[in-house]
Structure 1
Amino acid sequence: MSIASVDSNRFAEVDGPAPILLTVEEAARCLKVGRTTCFALIRSGELESLMVGGLRRVPADAPAAYLARRRAERQAA
């Protein structure tokens, strides 16, 4: 079971589909970091995000992709 499926399912409605986009706060909860740290990851380009209207959103698979990159970097070192 992937991290994205575990964490993003937590935000899904009981009978609804899993979310495609997360708020920054939801992404921060998935990563177990604070909102400020999540915004710093977005600002640095480490965590993918996009603007929808005037709202910042994080693709539901982005937290898992960030963790996978960090693991790969750690193993390569």
Structure 2
Amino acid sequence: MSSPSPMPAAVPLRHLYRITEAMRLLSLSRSVIYEQIRAGRLRVVHQGRTPLVPALAIQQYVDLLMRESGVEYDQAS
């Protein structure tokens, strides 16, 4: 009997998300998204004047919220 293999890390469907897409992914309002960006808690990159949220930044923001809430979880799964 072989042991079950660990779950692979999630591969983002896309690498960059527009603000409206990040709002849906994080279930946050536009104003909260921009507050988090200004506070340095959610990172963005710019293509021209368009702010884009990297998939990695979304994951890091979720990880930050989990740490702040005291929830422990396995990041590899």
Kindly indicate whether residue 64 of structure 2 is the aligned counterpart of residue 69 of structure 1.
yes
Which residues of structure 1 form unaligned runs of 5+?
9-17
Taking structure 2 as the reference length, the TM-score comes to 0.69
The one-letter amino acid paired with 1:27 is: A
SS of aligned partner of 1:46: coil
Query: What's the C-alpha RMSD, in Å, of the aligned pairs?
Result: 2.3
**TM superposition outliers: structure 1 runs of 4+ over 4 Å:** none
What is the aligned partner in structure 1 of residue 15 from structure 2? 20
SS of aligned partner of 1:61: helix
Which residues of structure 2 form unaligned runs of 5+?
1-6, 72-77
What is the aligned partner in structure 2 of residue 49 from structure 1? 44
What is the aligned partner in structure 2 of residue 30 from structure 1? 25
Q: Relative contact order: is structure 1 or structure 2 higher (C-alpha 8 Å, sep ≥ 6)?
A: 2
Bigger helix fraction: 1
Identity across the alignment (%): 30
Instruction: Work out which of the two has the higher radius of gyration on C-alpha atoms and give 1 or 2.
Output: 2
Distance between the aligned counterparts of 1:40 and 1:24, measured in 2? 12
Distance between the aligned counterparts of 1:36 and 1:73, measured in 2? 21
